[in-house]
Structure 1
Amino acid sequence: MPRQFSKLNRTKMRSMRAGEQITEHGITYTRLADGDGVFAVNVMVDRRRIHRSLGRESDGVTRTTAEEFISNLRADARAGRLNLPKGRKVSLTLKAAVPQYISKLEQEGGKEISRKQRRLELALIPFFGEKPLEQIQTFDIERYKKHRLSTPILSRKVLKAGEALPLNSAATVNRELATLSHLLNKALEWGWISERPAKINRLQEGNGRIQFLSAEQADALIEAAKADQNIQIHPFVLIGLRTGMRKSEILSIQRQYIDIDGRTIYLPNAKAGPRTQPITPSLADYLAAYVETLPPGTPWLFPSPAALAGHTVDIWKAFKRCVQSAGLDPKQIVIHTLRHTAITHLVQAGVDLPTVKRISGHKTMIMVERYAHQSGAHIAAAMDKLDKRLKMNSA
């Protein structure tokens, strides 16, 4: 049944003066100084506030135009609800879904929850926040990529005159897209949506060389760490270089999970899932002695009573100091370089890639294969062996 308008009718609209407004049934008509009029709508549809300026009367916009616009909005909303899973009455926006998503991940024992939450809050919600999950389309994903690649990195760095903040990298955007993809997969699994709405294509990342330390540079860094004022940086660097473990994995090591005799460390919260990390004999001997120096009763290998987690979570300042003391460039050598160094030297020592994968904790062989191409020396040596063998057999 058509709505009845008692205020927004032709007679009252014609008698309006410049600057006056009439609002009724979500439609607003404003008289302009030049005598023209503008129509706008402001309505709630499926718990979403929709505010649009529709245009001037002189351009052919009428009250009927506004009524039809609202009617179409509600028709689209009804059509959207037809595609919702059984039991849902209203579309779930990304912003509304995030708290429920994080809560359910915590209940399920999900991985990297804090990182996912940070990406959602800082990047994905500002862009997709009011968008219903089932309406996120591939076109929206492509717009998001373009937007993020042109957005400066959030940084506390003090800029020099004329210096601009660096932009987000393809790797950063891909991690954000991975979080969105995971949320959509879970939304489908939990019955929030009836089908996955968008195809998410990742950006192509650069295939630059992986930075790693030579054996001499690694030794210099270990010596610098041994002499540093921070007593935790030496075991941290040593573990990183002798295992290839990630920063968060090293700092969250629990004493109860160190098996000196078995030469392993159990990692219940590793990035790719729980795993048992092998360690070298020399590192096992070192850890046996180091554990004896820890405060009695502490469960952590790197305790920090002031930290909310109970253990150290940031060791960058001490690491940077050691890098500089070792005569290395802190712009090139970062904490993750320890992991790159350990894995690269395993590959160059001739260890087969499946074993390297087992030691490094990578999810896929593809990631490990990247290390096989970082230095041609070990490959050239292998080809020399092949050449000698074939020459010997043909002699």
Structure 2
Amino acid sequence: MNKQFFDWKDQILDNGLRVVSIKKDTELCSIHLGIDVGAVNEEENEKGLCHFIEHMLFKGTKTRTNIDIDQDLEDRAGSYNAYTTYTSTVFSITALLQELEKSLEILSDMVINSTFPSKEIEKERGVILAEFRSGYDDVEHYSYSRVNSVGFEKSPLRYDILGKESIIKNVTREKIVSFYEQYYIPNNTVISIVSSLAHEEVIEMVKKYFSLWKRKVLKKKKILTEKNRSIEVISYKKEIEQNTIVYLYTFYDLTRDEELALEILNHKLGKSANSILFRALREDKGISYDVYSEIDVTDYIKTLYIYCSASEDDILEAKETIDNCIKNIVNKHIVIDERNISLMKKAMKTGIASILEDSEGLCNYVLHQMLMNRRIDGFSEDLEALNNIKAEDVYKVAGKVLNGATIHMLLNKR
């Protein structure tokens, strides 16, 4: 990809805030503000605070009530969102270009001047506890939570991003504010902005609203990474129509080239509509509608999952089929050739083109590249590296990763 299709400038302000302006021929503006703190940064007695704070930044500032914030965001006539991951907390607004400055002002007020009203904390406590209950009812979500909880002994990945229900029920305002003041600081934050404006104009606009945000000493604790346990566990849940199987693998010791080979393997294994698992379980046997694999190469995460749902009568056959697919890949009985590599390369190029054409997607991509201290145009290096990956590399990484799975089965309790 040439820079003429991806024109950016990044600058670190005096207070440590990193700003990335991406110039694009568009009538829209998109802002993504990301704080480099997520569930992996929480101590045992802090589980769920990042997600709680994400909610609370909409609940009042020194000059705005929660109603004012909602109305001001709604008045932009675009879209706004917020989410918490294991590694970051993100707030975003996409609207017409003329709304850029007002959108920056609102975001700055929310992030810098939130007051955490006690009354609103109690309301959000109830909302988040309702999220826990929804998660229990969502069989897929519940299955992922269970495989993580049994697959890890000490890793923060063993906890849901929502945290621990007991902590959310009892956490004090003082605890929430203390965590906020520790991590929600400019020198732990990145802002990415896509617009048609000149980079200098965008950066000056950010300075106008964020330069008074006070820099602080950032103290982050070491994040524990842990290989998943090789274990099989069965859980039971009443009145579920679909039983599930989830396989969990971790891969903290791979090079970037090996991760790319793993992405090719994942595409062939369970990502595409013509994948090995899809054909074996759905097309050939007709025993599963919902089957896929997915990987996350984010720092400190590095996970590969296989998910399958099936009826009570078919769930054991589904597991046996998945086991056979994995065994046949590792033993090279399933062909992974240059055509598969070429197809993955094409899929990556399609994905990159889609990102570049979508202001919101591009803004989000750039934000996370910066939060992970990766090159903004790192995809160009990946595409180049793909040219050197051979089928043997894919088989090698399969042998490295596809062993010692954590396997969780969720079955209907009669």
TM class by smaller structure: under 0.3
Q: Using structure 1 for the length normalisation, give the TM-score.
A: 0.27
Q: Using structure 2 for the length normalisation, give the TM-score.
A: 0.26
Which of structures 1 and 2 has the larger relative contact order (alpha carbons within 8 angstroms, sep 6+)? 2
Structure of higher CA gyration radius: 1
